[in-house]
Amino acid sequence: MSLPAAAESAVATAAAVRAGATTALAETRAALARIAALDPQLGAFQLVRAERALAEAAEVDARLAAGEDLPLAGVPIAIKDNIPVAGEPMLEGSAATSAAPSLADHEVVARLRAAGAVVVGLTRVPELCVFGTTDSVHGTTRNPWNPTRTAGGSSGGSASAVASGMVAVAHAADGMGSIRIPAANCALVGLKPGAGLVPAEMGADSWFGMSENGPLATTVADAALLLAVMAGRPALADVAPPDRRLRIGLAPGIPTPLARLDPRWEAAARRTAATLAAAGHEVVELALPYPADPLPVLARWFAGAAADAAHLGLDDRLLEPRVRAHVRAGRVLERLGALRPGPVDRLRARVTAATADVDVVLTPALAQPGPDAEGWHRRGWIANLRSSIGYAPYAALWNLLGWPAAVVPAGWHPEAAVPLAVQLVARPAADGAGEALLLAVAAELELLAPWERTASPAASTVV
């Protein structure tokens, strides 16, 4: 069988549609053909909106003909199944959620559609977006680079859809690393914005403010364009390498004794630091004051899931055993006062002091390759906690503090046959300056150490 070519970049697609070289309708048909060919092996999509997407693409073409200026003109996009898309159910990877259609779009979806994007489908998540692998009663999502391994979680469906070239860009959301962990697994550019830049408004209270909506893409320019639309800040799309010498803090230290750093992941961080140093930036070693007591972040992780379950009116008996235990732990911790702001405020002060002399923090993106794809929703709560914390411990601190953080590809792990990646972190700023700085550094790395945009379609079909 002849497999379809991967999607062109979102920037290129939108420019071609605006110029009349192609149409939104043609691009949507091509995306649906790619999904039909590749998704049966990868399980990225929970729902494909074929007829509705084609109708919406025709509307985009009509808007262009009427003279509208659309930055995402005709770009097929996937939406993570944890925010409302009008007319479609929001299942959140659960058998306990309602199949009734959402009545209105989430603000992020509305902004994407207003910019000319066409929503071709909703992508899979683990139940209530809790864990770092993406499988549930609805199916398993696989890594296009190595389908025996997970695409990560909880935005694993979005990452698999983009890394396989089914779509060029996808919406994702990040409460404990759920944009950056799949990006690292699947060789993508993923960015978690700082608090307040992009509308969050997920579940009960966005996991007590830890969760943010953001982009997954194969190029920095695509990630910047998608973030600019999500944030309503067009200037963020104008991305270029830094125009000044930066001070980069290399921080390879392990955040928790529950994790062990694979030498390949540490080497990727050090190699990336050396690339930036060769480009003229100053690199210094940095020891981050990771909290000795993990309770502030764990309590919000557990209690955030509990709050979402209550917000959705879910019957605990219908939840997976691992998620049921997670929810119950969250309720207990909240009653015991584990969500007090004091420890977080003190941690923020320590991290701010430790990073005061650097512009960007550089860490490994993961500690270990992502685990096997199958069966995590049938395993116990402790096994899932150990897996998620053990292989992906670098992300959660920045959710707790509300700092922007991004992941970019950084090589290949030959033993595990999966990509490597690094994480970049900047201090938050209300005007998006931190996100702009991360995109600039990512753009420089893309020029100096380019990566392959998508996995081979042949690799995606090997299971």
Alpha carbon distance 96, 99 (integer Å): 9
Q: What ranges do the domains of the chain cover?
A: 10-460
- Residue 461 has a pLDDT of 54
**pLDDT for the residue 4:** 78
Q: Give the pair of three-digit tokens for residue 219.
A: 């190029």
Please tell me the predicted confidence (pLDDT) of residue 90: 98
Q: How far is CA 96 from CA 92, 214, 310, 326, 363, in A?
A: 9, 26, 12, 15, 37
Q: Among 386, 393, 348, 387, which Cα is nearest to 366's?
A: 393
Question: What is the third-level CATH fold of 10-460?
Answer: Amidase signature (AS) enzymes (3.90.1300)
Q: Which residues are catalytic?
A: 80, 154, 178
pLDDT along the chain (463 residues), means of 10: 82 98 98 98 98 98 98 98 98 98 98 99 98 98 98 98 98 98 98 98 97 98 98 98 98 97 98 98 98 95 98 97 98 97 97 98 99 98 98 98 98 98 97 98 98 81 46
Residues 231 and 344: their CA atoms lie apart, in Å, by: 26
Is the peptide bond prior to 9 cis by the omega test (within 30 degrees of 0)?
no
